[in-house]
Amino acid sequence: MTNSGGITIDGVGMQFDGRQGVTALDGIDLDISAGEFVTLVGPSGCGKSTLLRIVSGLLEPTSGRVDVSGKTPNQARRDVDFGFVFQEPALFPWLRVLGNVLLPGRVLGRRNPNKGPESAEIARELLRDVGLEGFENHYPGQISGGMQQRVALARALSYGPKILLMDEPFGALDEFTRDRLNLQLLDVCNKAGSTVLFVTHSIQEAIFLADRVVVLSPRPGSIARIADVPWPKPRALEIRYEPEFAALTGELRGLLTVEDEVESAMNQP
Amino acid sequence: MSDTRERRNIANALLRFLPSAAVFVAGLVAWELWVNVRDVPAYLYPSPSEIGGELRDEGLSLAVDDLRWTMIEAVLGFLLGSGAAMFAAVVFVHAKFLERVLFPWAIVLQTVPIVAVAPLLTIWFGFTLTPKVLIAALICFFPVLVNTTKGLRSISTQAVELMSILSASKWSIFWRVRIPSSLPYVFAGLKVASSLSVIGAIVAEFTGADRGIGFVIIQASYRLDTRLMFAGIALSSAAGVLFFNVIGALERLALRWPDARLDR
């Protein structure tokens, strides 16, 4: 299992049945190496979330194939190689914060690499890393949306997945919370060494987080541009005010058609 | 400190209850005045004080000899009907085909007037517990079935996707996601069923029994003993309210997370 955590997407297309037979994705080619942080950015309806679901084996593509470290997405999913953070925190309201982070371990049972008391220790440490120390015994209904999303992140990392898939996880949060979570995310992912595929419709967020930004244009969803992000990690929020950052932002935004630019600008926080 | 908070909570609860209690008392007073002022025949419209006297004299023996049996029938019927309904709901959720075939019949079962079925069951099973328990079970079945089915289906797509990412088994999804998500709905159904079950038992007693509150009421009606009828009505409603609140207490124990209860 060489290149453990790498992903190769080869000519992937996705067609949804329906009255018009919508083509959500068309001819996507992308190589992601282990430990890389790749963001997918584009306006609504460009198939970003669909691509995440194809990579994780939740959806079967209508054409092309995906290789996850020598396995099909379904095999990788069965081996629990993925962590997934959704748009909504999707926490279980009847479990306390710690219980939610421990849930994957309980579901995995013997397949969980972190066993016994060790798993509880790891869960507590992850909660500390995302700044939720002292909230272990709160119910999700008692904490804010941003805190809930941080619990979801800790939950996704709790069983040490090789690949972390994130579907607009911070889209519903205010700018300040989002900034703080971006920093924590970089920190936590760096520590875990996981490969990250992160979907967002904020170009700024996409650049700030990524080693590489993949710009998707819609109808049908296809890759408009793959841009390398030069700033070394760890990064400070201030890099966003550097002229090169603004130039890259402008360049990527220019790739999207005028109509979609309005749409994506409206989606910015 | 928690002691004072406890006391404050109790005081708040009493305060909240006060308006409804005041309406009740006002109704009783109006009734008493009406009976006395208009001089209506007492054998038709006994006054609250007369009913109170009846309850004082006969209440204990009514409760021990009759209400006890009515409640045993109601509780057994509740357990049987709710249990069967939960089982059916689990089957429905896992076998859509069976739901399509059987659910229309559950609706038919629900629309059959139990007042019409009760005499039939009495013919079949005689003056035993069985027809009463069956009628109570019948009346409990539908609300629990509908609520439990809805509850078991109330899981979000993302919860399913999360479990799929963890390659969880069907059993694990059922146990860890479906059951807990369904609980608020299940309890909403159980609360409805708990009050209905007492009604079911009493209706079944009307059609053939030698004990029970329904038996007492129907016997009293033959003798125009309205005081005893009212006493029976008051006792059985009190028991129904008590049963409802027992289920409500169990609900509070089971649903501890914030905003879990549907009717709050």
Residue A45 confidence (pLDDT) above 80:
no
Identify the H or E element spanning A199.
strand A195-200
- pLDDT of the residue at A250: 87
Note whether A142 contacts B258, CB cutoff 8 Å: yes
* Average per-residue pLDDT for chain B: 90
Report the alpha-carbon angle B90-B95-B96, nearest 5: 110
Q: Give Rg (Cα) of chain A.
A: 18
Shortest Cα distance from A80 to chain B (angstroms)?
6
With contact defined as beta carbons under 8 Å apart, do A22 and A15 qualify?
yes
Helices and strands (DSSP H and E) totals, chain A = 9, 9
CA distances from B190 to B148, B183, B194 (A): 9, 10, 6
With contact defined as beta carbons under 8 Å apart, do B206 and B132 qualify?
no
Distance of CA A215 to the CA centre of its chain: 15
- A113-119 CB contacts, 8 Å cutoff, 24+ apart: A113/A159, A113/A160, A114/A158, A114/A159, A114/A160, A119/A158
What is the rounded distance in angstroms from the CA atom of residue A193 to the CA atom of residue B133? Answer: 63
Q: Which amino acid is at A142?
A: Q
Residue of A nearest to B182 (CA): A94
Residue A269 confidence (pLDDT) above 80:
no
B208: left (phi over 0), alpha (psi -120 to 50) or beta: left
Residue of B nearest to A160 (CA): B166
What is the rounded distance in angstroms from the CA atom of residue B204 to the CA atom of residue B122? Answer: 8
Please report which confidence band the pLDDT of residue A64 belongs to, taking 50, 70 and 90 as the band edges.
confident
Residue B95 confidence (pLDDT) above 60:
yes
- pLDDT of the residue at A92: 94
Note whether B166 contacts A108, CB cutoff 8 Å: yes
Note whether A88 contacts B156, CB cutoff 8 Å: yes
What is the rounded distance in angstroms from the CA atom of residue B167 to the CA atom of residue A80? Answer: 7
Mean pLDDT of B188-211: 92
Mean pLDDT of A93-107: 91
Number of neighbouring beta carbons within 10 Å of residue A183: 16
Residue A22 confidence (pLDDT) above 80:
no
What is the rounded distance in angstroms from the CA atom of residue A97 to the CA atom of residue A152? Answer: 9
What ipTM was assigned to the predicted interfaces of this complex?
0.82
Name the least confident of A43-57, B165-179, B194-208. A43-57
Closest CA to A201 of A166, A233, A226, A231: A166
Number of A/B CB contacts below 8 angstroms equals: 59
Name the least confident of A15-19, A127-131, A248-252. A15-19
Mean pLDDT of B142-152: 94
Residues of B in contact with A171 (CB under 8 A): none
Residue A3 confidence (pLDDT) above 60:
no
What is the rounded distance in angstroms from the CA atom of residue A266 to the CA atom of residue A43? Answer: 10
- Those residues of chain B whose CB sits closer than 8 Å to some CB in chain A are 156, 158-159, 161-168, 172, 176-177, 180, 183, 255-260
Note whether B260 contacts A93, CB cutoff 8 Å: yes
Q: Order of strands, edge to edge, in the sheet holding A222-228? A: A82-85, A163-167, A195-200, A37-41, A212-217, A222-228
Mean pLDDT of A191-219: 88
Residues of B in contact with A140 (CB under 8 A): 257
Q: Which amino acid is at A249?
A: T
With contact defined as beta carbons under 8 Å apart, do A101 and A126 qualify?
yes
- pLDDT of the residue at B81: 96
Which candidate from B161, B177, B258 shows the least CB-CB separation from A141? B258
Residues of B in contact with A87 (CB under 8 A): 158
Q: Which amino acid is at A28?
A: I
- pLDDT of the residue at A2: 44
Q: Which tokens hold the place of A254?
A: 């220019």
* Average per-residue pLDDT for chain A: 84
- pLDDT of the residue at A21: 67
Q: Give Rg (Cα) of chain B.
A: 23
- pLDDT of the residue at A180: 86
What does DSSP assign to residue B174? I
Mean pLDDT of A27-40: 88
Residues of A in contact with B159 (CB under 8 A): 90, 92
With contact defined as beta carbons under 8 Å apart, do B140 and B197 qualify?
yes
What is the rounded distance in angstroms from the CA atom of residue B218 to the CA atom of residue B202? Answer: 10
List pLDDT tens digits, range B47-91.
Answer: 899 999 999 988 888 888 899 999 999 999 999 999 999 999 999
A-interface mutation test, from B154, B167, B183, most A Cβ less than 10 A away = B167
Q: Which tokens hold the place of B213?
A: 């509150």
Classify A3 as helix, strand or coil: coil
Mean pLDDT of B151-157: 90
Residue B10 confidence (pLDDT) above 60:
yes
CA distances from A212 to A39, A168, A169, A188 (A): 7, 17, 18, 18
Note whether A103 contacts B176, CB cutoff 8 Å: yes
Length of chain B, please? 264
Residue B205 confidence (pLDDT) above 60:
yes
- Interacting residues of B53 by C-beta distance below 8 A, sequence separation 6+: none
List pLDDT tens digits, range A203-215.
Answer: 889 888 989 999 8
With contact defined as beta carbons under 8 Å apart, do A7 and A65 qualify?
no
Shortest Cα distance from A108 to chain B (angstroms)?
7
Classify A264 as helix, strand or coil: helix
